[in-house]
Structure formats: structure tokens, C-alpha cells
Amino acid sequence: MPKTSYDAPAVRKAVFLIELLCESEKPLGVSEISQALDVNSNMVFRLLKTLEEEGWIVRSSEGPKYSMSLRPFHFTSKTVRRMGVRTAADEPLRTLWEETHESCYLGVIDGTRTLFLEHLDATGDVRVMATPGGRFLMHCAAPGKVLLAFSPVEFVEKVAKVEGLPAQTKNSIKTLKVLQKELEAVRETGYAIDNEEYADGLYCFAAPVFNVKDELAATIGVSVLSLYYSLERTIKELGPKVISAANATSMSLGSTRQIHFKG
């Protein structure tokens, strides 16, 4: 790759060092790494010490040699899981969009917010639009409520503490007590609704996606404008379609857990 004016040589060397250790079947010492990367020993030693302090590599008991730790797996495994959910949801989400022509999305937990892995825009002249990668408050939107409802209680409390449950509209949930009651209802019905809680004039319906362990993996949902839909119509007409898409995705992930529409 050609170098640019933004090139960071030290970072580049660290990347090459990590790749070398990942590919090596045995621990490597400073001189071996220095020779393989054509980098002076002093630089190699400093990089190794930094990576060791950050937990990315471990020192061998056989001597001053190093190998990769499992810390990178903590991050890459999350990415793999997300890619698996996205692949499994591709066809069901596309079918949902073709049936509704409304804003359809696939969301997962990212920190204390909802992250859209995929979003298909509505086709109307006036429509809801978003982009994959967008992050949203959880307590005042249907996808976030689903993710909270099927997560541990401690996580719900953490979200409330970190985000503070800010009101986006007059309908937004503002207290942890009210949120917990709402999440109980979500677990009971198997889906969540957003009654103009995130934005005025916007309704949402979302359902959970489960993995092979029958644990929460993601959420699939649809957002519509009150210009075209009433809340009742959103639930009765679009709800079953959303649940069908979520159940199909769960099945693709190997889950036996299915949601049944309770209109």
C-alpha cells in the first residue's frame, strides 16, 4: 500500500508485528521479529512492551519470547457474531421491506445504545431515513426496548445511569420505574412499540432475534410516519410481518425460540 501524508510508521510496524505473531506457530523473540520485519531491535522491544502491557501479547515461560494473547479474540468474535446476524437477517429484512415499503432495520446493542447494522429506507415521498452504523437511545424507541427487555436487569440499570433517560418527546419514558414496567410488557407480548417517543409523528414496531442458544442476538423492526399510519394500524398490519422476519432470522441462526403475535 502506498504511503500517504497521514502515514504513522509506528502504528504500521505494530500492525505488522501483530500479524507476524498471529501467523507464527511458536513464540518469537526480539531478534527474530527484528529480522523478519526489518525493524531495529530497540523499536521491536518498545512495541512488544506496549502490547504486553495492554494485554495483546504474552511472554513465554521459555524465555524472552512472545505470542498473541486471546484479547484480540474478544473483539473479533463480536464482529463475527454481528456479521452472522447480518447475513441471517438479509433475506427476511429484504422481504419485510418488499412487503411494507417502509423503513426497516436490524439493530444490535452497542455499548449503551442501539446500533443499526442494516437499514432499508421507505419509498414514500415523505419518509423515514437512516443509515447503517447509526446509534440511537434505547429507552425511547422500539428496537432499544426490545434489546433492553431481553437483556439482564443490570444492563437496563447501566443504560439508565449512563444515558440518563433523556426525553425526546412528551411521550418519552423518563424514569427507570416506568421503563422497567414497559419492559415487562415487552417480554410478555414479545414485541415493543414506540408511540411517538423518539420523534413526533413516528411510530415503530420491533421484535427480538435469538441465536442458537435461544439468547438475544438482535432486533428487527419497522418505522412509519403518523402521516400514513395510526398506531393501531402499525401494530395490527405491520406487527405480524415484523415478527415473521424476526422469527425467520432466529431460525437461520439455529434458534428454536419464536415470538407469536398478540394483537
Residue 137's CATH number? 3.30.450.40
For residues 89 and 172, state if they share a domain: yes
For residues 48 and 129, state if they share a domain: no
Residue 51's CATH number? 1.10.10.10
User: Are 229 and 252 contacting, i.e. CB atoms less than 8 angstroms apart?
Assistant: no
Between residues 1 and 185, which one has the greater pLDDT?
A: 185
Pairing of β 192-195 and β 57-59: unpaired
Q: Is the pTM of this model over 0.95?
A: no
The set of cell numbers assigned to 68 is 498473541
User: Are 153 and 127 contacting, i.e. CB atoms less than 8 angstroms apart?
Assistant: no
Residue 181: pLDDT above 90?
Answer: yes
Is residue 129 domain-resident?
yes
Number of domains present in the structure of the chain: 2
Cα distance between residue 252 and residue 26, in whole Å: 38
pLDDT interval class at 23 (50, 70, 90): confident
For residues 60 and 150, state if they share a domain: no
Is residue 219 domain-resident?
yes
The percent of residues in the chain predicted with pLDDT above 90, rounded, is 70
Single out the residue in 21, 53, 69 at which a domain terminates: 69
Domain that holds residue 62: 9-69
Helix, strand, coil shares of the chain, percent, nearest 5, are 45, 20, 35
User: Are 136 and 159 contacting, i.e. CB atoms less than 8 angstroms apart?
Assistant: no
For residues 96 and 55, state if they share a domain: no
Is residue 258 domain-resident?
no
Single out the residue in 69, 88, 114 at which a domain terminates: 69
For residues 232 and 113, state if they share a domain: yes
Is residue 260 domain-resident?
no
Residue 25: pLDDT above 90?
Answer: no
The set of cell numbers assigned to 64 is 524472552
Is residue 4 domain-resident?
no
For residues 175 and 191, state if they share a domain: yes
For residues 55 and 84, state if they share a domain: no
Cα distance between residue 91 and residue 33, in whole Å: 46
Residue 3: pLDDT above 70?
Answer: no
Average pLDDT over residues 146-165: 95
The 10s digit of each residue's pLDDT in 47-88 is 999 999 988 899 887 678 999 987 776 676 666 566 689 999
pLDDT at position 78, please?
A: 67
User: Are 85 and 209 contacting, i.e. CB atoms less than 8 angstroms apart?
Assistant: yes
pLDDT at position 126, please?
A: 60
Cα distance between residue 100 and residue 121, in whole Å: 11
Cα distance between residue 39 and residue 18, in whole Å: 14
- The CA distances from residue 185 to 35, 49, 113, 180, 190, in Å, are 62, 51, 20, 9, 8
**Beta strands across the sheet bearing 57-59:** 28-29, 65-68, 57-59
Cα distance between residue 56 and residue 48, in whole Å: 9
For residues 171 and 58, state if they share a domain: no
The count of other CB atoms within 10 Å of the CB of residue 15 is 11
- DSSP of 151-167, one letter per residue? S-HHHHHHHHHHH----
